[in-house]
A and B are shown apart, each in its own frame.
Chain A
Amino acid sequence: MSGRPLPRAVGLLALVLAACTLPFVLSNFRLFQFSQVYIYAIAILGLNLLTGYNGQFSLGHGAFYAIGAYASAIMMDRWNIGYGWTLPVAGVLCLIVGFLFGLPALRLEGLYLALATFSLALAVPQILKYFEHWTGGSQGIVLSKPNAPFGLPLNPDQWLYFVTLAVLVLLFWLGANLLRGRMGRAIVAIRDNHIAAEAMGINAALYKSLVFGVSAAYTGVAGALSASVIAYVAPDSFNVFLSVTLLIGSVIGGLASIAGAVFGALFIQFVPNWAQDISKAAPWAIFGVFLIGFMYLMPFGIAGGIRLLWTRATRSRVEPEGRSAVPTQAHTTT
């Protein structure tokens, strides 16, 4: 849905304004859930950058989420640093860690990178428990939710909702600009045909590592936000299940899509709850059915499905061009 920027901008603004009204109509618990959605959306956008736009499979993004969360928690708990400051610090920290991880990962393609990141994800809870002195071991670190500044008449949940929404809008806007620019074109070129990209002078090694870093930074910031929103970090919250959940959100939402990150976040936040409402006895079975059903109906994710409907409505048949490992449709930056 590129082109026609003005109606789009107006539409997005309307959405954001609508989102701003929610704290005054929803309960604290629902606001907490929506804050969580925004946090997941940021994390998933990070993953989308790496896997959707750049074609590097990561089954370990939970690790960066954990680094961000713990970095923020430790800064707040030990050194009394304000939660706001922990966000950029967590981001930069994860940028560096991600970049460094991206370097050896350059040698690994597809399945092998997935295995490496999967192993990383499996190791995270154990590593966190091992460094007890910093992380508080199995018991984790208990934090307190910040109050709204300047005496604004908002309770912590409402305030945090606005914070996460603001960070979401900012990071999404940055992400969209990044993808529209030179770096965006380079990383997509590398995904589609990395040998040809290199032959055209793109430094694939540099860009791939950079994308790893940026992707990790996004997910790290999300993790840092979650530390404040949940007000608690513990190793078992950051197990391999988290990484898999983020990947599910990514694919369901639509891999090479910015809007997809939000759709995916909504899915992973709310569908498990619906599943539990439908069946107390086997809720995950229902979740699995939803997951499979979505993939049947929309193999390119929700964003892909919407795009397909849109082009079908506005002109004649679209056919996806051959099969790729990553569910994308050619040249998209939605």
Chain B
Amino acid sequence: MDIFVQQVVSGLATGGIYASLALALVMIYQATDVVNFAQGELAMFATYICWSLINAGLPYWAAFLSTLGIAFVGGVVIERLVIRPVENAPILTIVMVTLGLLVICNSIAGWIWTYVQKPFPSPFPERPFKFDNIVFGAHDLGEIQVTLLVLLCIYLFFRFTPLGLAMRAAAHNPVSSRLVGIRVGCMLALGWGLAAVFGAVAGMMVAPVLTLEPNLMGGVQIYAFAAATLGGFTSPGGAVLGGFIVGVVENLVGTYVSFIGTELKFTVALAMIIVVLLVRPTGLFGTTVVKRV
């Protein structure tokens, strides 16, 4: 039982990372019908920037917050400069552009920082926490707290601020949004900025565990796809919940089912995706879009 609780908590920690990246994917998908394949790589790039700041002498949290700011600006700039020229193009064309971004990011990160794995510090203490005979890693607990804090802030932003309301409206119904005077293009850029922030959080939280290298986020992105599929690509809340569920399931399966070795690393994610798509494609909380013929 102790092991079970430990693994659940551990799973929630990785789940938080999947949730953050899944939220980023879903935010952009909701607003534009495009899956941003570069989301994970952008997160990796942001994590490297944080690493560079820490190496330059900045204390961890200062570097962390600065990176969030840089990621936000980066996301906005990428949307305005790279995506905007094709914003009215067919969806697959835009997807190609995100694929282009993916390879560019990955390649440039490798060029600047090399492919050698680098250790990335964790801001949380080394000693594990002991609670009622169960041992929890401090990083796991810290990760969960950071993720929840970020999600809370975002929820409050979207629910209670005018700008958050305008962004929701622009994602939901761009035509009507223009008719009330919302600059939909700006809202889109802000959305990309926020998505980049979530990605950066995911990257910086997972880097201490996986060690920093250009392919850091590849596997995480696949799990994020599973999370968004499970929760529903049309539901940000669902994607977050999906992330936590995927994290816990992955951990429990890894612990209790013996033949899932490292070769079948993505099996859990893939199996979840296939099962959800067969049973309920729109996910737990997604809604089907009704189209008029």
Direct contact of A and B (CB under 8 A): yes
Min C-beta distance of B290 to chain A, whole Å: 12
Q: Please choose the segment from B7-15, B60-68, B83-91, B146-154 that sits at the chain A interface, where 4 or more of its residues have CB less than 8 A away.
A: B83-91
A291 & B92 in contact (Cβ 8 Å cutoff): no
Query: What's the nearest-Cβ distance from chain B to residue A180, in Å?
Result: 24
With beta carbons under 8 angstroms apart, the residue of B85, B100, B233, B282 that contacts A289 is B100
Q: How far in angstroms is the closest Cβ of chain A from B270?
A: 5
In the bound assembly, the distance between CA atoms of A255 and B274 in angstroms comes to 26
B161 within 8 A of A: no
CB neighbours of A109 from chain B (8 A): 281
Give the CA-CA distance A255 to B263 in the complex, in Å. Answer: 35
Q: Which residue of B lies closest to A138 (CB)?
A: B263
Q: Would you call B274 and A116 a contact (CB within 8 A)?
A: yes
Q: Which of B233, B267, B278 contacts A111 (CB 8 A)?
A: B233
48-94 of chain A: CB within 8 A of chain B: 51, 57
Q: Which of B29, B35, B99, B264 lies in contact with A244, CB distance below 8 A?
A: B99
Given A122, A129, A248, A283, which contacts B96 in the complex, CB threshold below 8 Å?
A248
Are the C-beta atoms of B100 and A327 separated by less than 8 Å?
no
Cβ–Cβ contact B277 & A116, under 8 A = yes
B285 to chain A, nearest CB (A): 15
Is the CB of B251 closer than 8 A to any CB of chain A?
no
Q: Which of B103-111, B133-141, B204-212 contacts A (4 or more CB under 8 A)?
A: B103-111
A118 touches B (CB below 8 Å):
yes
Q: Mark A112-137, 1 if CB is under 8 A from B, else 0.
A: 10111011001100100100000000
Question: Among the listed B29, B266, B281, B291, which residue makes an inter-chain contact with A122, where contact means beta carbons less than 8 Å apart?
Answer: B266
User: By the criterion of a CB under 8 Å from any partner CB, how many residues of chain B are at the interface?
Assistant: 43
A299 adjacent to B89 (CB under 8 Å): yes
Tell me whether A327 and B89 are in contact (CB under 8 A): yes
Chain B neighbourhood of A193, CB < 8 A: 293
Say whether chain A's binding surface is mostly helix, strand, loop, or mixed: helix
Residue of B104, B225, B282 contacting most chain A CB atoms (<10 Å):
B104
Query: Is A314 among interface residues, defined by CB-CB distance under 8 A?
Result: no
Cβ contacts A to B, 18 pairs, < 8 Å: A111-B33, A111-B233, A112-B277, A112-B282, A116-B277, A123-B270, A196-B293, A251-B96, A281-B111, A284-B107, A288-B103, A292-B82, A295-B86, A323-B88, A323-B89, A325-B90, A327-B90, A327-B92
Contact B104 A285 (CB under 8 A): yes
Question: Are B86 and A284 interface neighbours, CB within 8 A?
Answer: no
Assembled-state Cα–Cα distance A295/B86 (Å): 8
Q: Which residues does chain A contribute within 8 Å of B33, judged by CB atoms?
A: 111, 325
The 6 closest A-B pairs by CB, nearest first: A288-B104, A285-B107, A299-B89, A291-B100, A284-B107, A327-B90
Q: Mark B93-131, 1 if CB is under 8 A from A, else 0.
A: 101110111111011101100000000000000000000
Q: Which residue from chain B places its CB closest to the CB of A114 in the assembled complex? A: B35
Q: Does A108 contact B (CB under 8 A)?
A: yes
In the complex, A324 has a CB within 8 A of chain B = yes
Docked complex Cα distance between A155 and B79 (Å): 52
Query: Bound state CA distance, A326 and B38, in angstroms?
Result: 20
Q: Does A287 contact B (CB under 8 A)?
A: yes
Question: Would you call A126 and B267 a contact (CB within 8 A)?
Answer: yes
Residues of the B chain whose Cβ atoms lie less than 8 Å from the Cβ of A57: 92
